């Protein structure tokens, strides 16, 4: 059998990728050889500062030592069990922490189900909301990204590359306006649009849930205005609709507090977590009040690998770390440092985000605010050449999002921001 070490030494991974991996998965021209903290080393020995974090999965950086230790210990105990075959402590421990950390503090009882990916968790949140309300319809918002499975792709709002050619889509999904302050859409317009949707397209009494990211991720790092979640919750309560808070990208400390919705002072009915939750291993969850979570019949939730013991061992440490005293403050300080630097760049466009979840929206000029995706792509490419990994996002691909580890050292952060500045200047 070929040893994987030999494979990386003797086969050009790029060629092998072309030959054996579907082109449907897009990859930049980087072959990762090692990663630690805020750095990735490629197969040619080049070092990069990582502001991409495996798309928001490395809030604690690559290979955080406490997480890695917990993983090793669990690997030595047992690997896969399947919670539906035999229950085990790491799964229950993650659910206990998710319950203790539930935002909003109504003090009720909270339960969770653990799954493999963000998309699977959003799907399950919708299943739970449907079972709890007995209603079919779901409302998603402009620029939403909730995943790539049939239902979550339907909830997602970007045709290329996520939806083109993949229809027909799931039924009973409706889309409403989301606020986008930079483009003149505020809370009032968004609420009016939702009420109009209830008049024109869907009976609110048949809606199971709304699904909303508190800070839209893939859609362009667009934070909801301070009053929008509360106004939306009011409308939901009036009609018996559940509020699903998708924290897959914005959660687990990315905006400072454990959950981004904590900035908004509301208690969602269901909270979806993922990405950084597993500290680099695949894990996602749905958490909510016990009576909602228990509305599903026995056997209605689950999955072979959901809540894998090793991923759960990692997640308990991750949750303890992001909930520890001082973590939020350090994250918010990091956010202030990055924001000050981004604002000093005087880009044509917008600097936005919450805490350390920040982005630059690039436009051609301040009057028309026409998206400038070519400049964003050129900046990402120039940064890679200079040793910084960045990701773009947004409906038009003209937003550069920054996802450095929240634990990044000051010198590495500075170096990364210097490269960003030089790359913008060169693009
Ligand atoms: N929800 C949000 C807000 C996301 O950003 C993502 C992924 O980027 C998902 C859901 C889907 O997560 P996954 O890719 O783990 O299925």
**For the segment 23-75, what is each residue's pLDDT rounded down to a tens digit?**
999 999 999 999 999 999 999 999 999 999 999 999 999 999 999 999 999 99
Contact 397, 359 (CB under 8 A): no
Q: How many domains are there within the chain? A: 2
Assess whether 379 and 313 both reside in one domain. no
> What CATH number does residue 307 fall under?
3.40.640.10
pLDDT at 102: 97
Nearest atom (ligand 1) to Cα of 247: 3
217 within ligand 1 shell (Cβ under 6 A): yes
DSSP state of 206: G
For residues 120 and 30, membership in a common domain is answered with: no
Check: CB of residue 390 under 8 Å from CB of residue 420: yes
E strands, 189-267, are: 207-212, 215-216, 222-223, 242-246
Q: How far apart are CA 367 and CA 178, in angstroms?
A: 22
Q: How far apart are the CA of 139 and the centre of ligand 1, in A?
A: 17
- What residue owns the CA closest to ligand 1's atom 12? 118
Whichever domain contains 19, its CATH number is: 3.90.1150.10
Closest by CA position to 58, among listed 40, 32, 42: 40
Q: Which two tokens stand for residue 196?
A: 């109009």
Whether residue 160 is found in the same domain as residue 251: yes
117 lines ligand 1 (CB under 6 A): yes
How far apart (Å, rounded) are the C-alpha atoms in residues 356 and 415? Answer: 17
Q: Are 240 and 176 members of one domain?
A: yes
| Whether residues 254 and 217 fall in one domain | yes
Q: Is the pLDDT of residue 107 over 80?
A: no
Q: Is 274 in the pocket of ligand 1 (CB under 6 A)?
A: yes
| Residue owning the nearest CA to atom 1 of ligand 1 | 146
Instruction: Note the pLDDT tens digit of each residue in 374-399.
Output: 999 999 999 999 999 999 999 999 99
Same domain as 310, residue 349: no
Ligand 1 geometric centre to CA of 365 (Å): 31
Q: Using pLDDT thresholds of 50, 70 and 90, give the confidence band for residue 99.
A: very high
Instruction: Note the pLDDT tens digit of each residue in 262-301.
Output: 999 999 999 999 999 999 999 999 999 999 999 999 999 9
Choose the final residue of a domain: 271, 306, 323: 323
CA distance 63 to 259: 22
Residue 118 CA: which ligand 1 atom is closest?
12
**Do 75 and 200 fall into the same domain?**
yes
Do 118 and 50 lie in one domain? The reply is: no
Above 60 in pLDDT, residue 10? no
pLDDT value at residue 108: 84
Per-residue pLDDT band at 243 (split at 50, 70, 90)? very high
Q: Are residues 51 and 93 in the same domain?
A: no
Whether 1 has a pLDDT exceeding 50, the answer reads no
Side by side, the strands of the sheet bearing 270-273 are 110-115, 284-289, 270-273, 242-246, 207-212, 137-141, 173-176
For 90, the enclosing helix (H) or strand (E) is: helix 89-100
What is the rounded average pLDDT for all residues in the chain? 96
How far away, in angstroms, is 335 Cα from ligand 1 center? 22
Q: Which residue has the tokens 């897009």?
A: 26
- Residue 148 CA: which ligand 1 atom is closest? 16
Asked if 181 and 54 sit in the same domain, the reply is no
253 plus 201 within the same structural domain: yes
Q: Does residue 60 contact residue 406 with C-beta atoms inside 8 Å?
A: yes
Q: Could you tell me the distance, in angstroms and rounded to a whole number, from the CA of residue 120 to the centre of ligand 1?
A: 9
Helix (H) or strand (E) holding 360: strand 357-362
Q: Are 137 and 172 in contact (CB under 8 A)?
A: yes
The parent domain of residue 157 ranges over 68-323
Tell me the best of 55, 212, 217 to mutate to test the pocket of ligand 1, counting ligand atoms within 8 Å of each CB and taking the most. Answer: 217
Distance 278 CA to ligand 1 centre (A): 13
**Ligand 1 contact via 278 beta carbon (within 6 Å):** no
Percent of the chain with pLDDT over 90: 96
Asked if residue 119 has its Cβ within 6 Å of ligand 1, the reply is yes
């Amino acid at each position: 059998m070929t040893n994987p070490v030999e494979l990386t030494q003797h086969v050009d991974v790029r060629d092998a990728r072309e030959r054996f991996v579907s082109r449907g998965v897009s990859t930049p021209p980087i072959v990762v050889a090692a990663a630690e903290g805020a750095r990735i080393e490629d197969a040619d020995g080049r070092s990069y500062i990582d502001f991409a974090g495996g798309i928001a999965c490395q809030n604690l950086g690559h290979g955080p030592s406490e997480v890695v230790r917990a993983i090793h210990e669990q690997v030595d105990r047992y690997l896969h069990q399947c919670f539906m075959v035999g229950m085990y402590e790491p799964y229950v421990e993650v659910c206990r922490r998710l319950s203790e950390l539930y935002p909003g503090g109504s003090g009720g009882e909270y339960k969770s189900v653990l799954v493999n990916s963000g998309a699977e968790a959003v799907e399950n949140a919708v299943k739970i909301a449907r079972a709890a309300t007995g209603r079919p319809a779901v409302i998603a918002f402009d620029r939403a990204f909730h995943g790539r499975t049939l239902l979550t792709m339907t909830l997602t709002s970007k045709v290329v590359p996520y939806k083109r050619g993949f229809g027909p889509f799931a039924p009973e999904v409706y889309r409403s306006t989301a606020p986008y302050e930079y483009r003149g859409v505020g809370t009032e317009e968004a609420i009016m649009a939702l009420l109009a949707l209830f008049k024109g397209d869907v009976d609110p009494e048949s809606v199971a849930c709304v699904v909303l990211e508190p800070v839209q991720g893939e859609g362009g790092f667009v934070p909801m205005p301070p009053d929008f979640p509360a106004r939306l919750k009011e409308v939901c309560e009036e009609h018996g609709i559940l509020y699903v808070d998708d924290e897959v990208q914005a959660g687990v400390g990315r905006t400072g507090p454990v959950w981004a919705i904590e900035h908004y002072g509301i208690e969602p009915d269901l909270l979806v977590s993922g990405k950084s939750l597993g500290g680099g291993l695949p894990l996602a969850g749905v958490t909510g009040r016990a009576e909602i979570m228990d509305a599903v019949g026995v056997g209605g939730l689950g999955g072979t690998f959901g809540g894998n013991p090793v991923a759960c061992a990692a997640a308990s440490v991750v949750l303890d770390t992001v909930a520890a005293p001082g973590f939020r403050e350090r994250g918010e300080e990091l956010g202030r440092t990055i924001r000050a630097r981004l604002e000093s760049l005087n880009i044509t466009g917008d600097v936005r985000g919450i805490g350390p979840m920040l982005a630059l929206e690039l436009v051609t000029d301040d009057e028309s605010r026409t998206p400038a995706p070519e400049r964003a792509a050129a900046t990402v490419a120039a940064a890679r050449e200079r040793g910084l990994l960045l990701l773009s996002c947004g409906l038009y691909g003209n937003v550069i999002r920054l996802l450095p580890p929240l634990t990044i050292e000051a010198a590495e952060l500075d170096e990364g921001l210097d490269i960003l500045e030089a790359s913008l200047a060169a693009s």
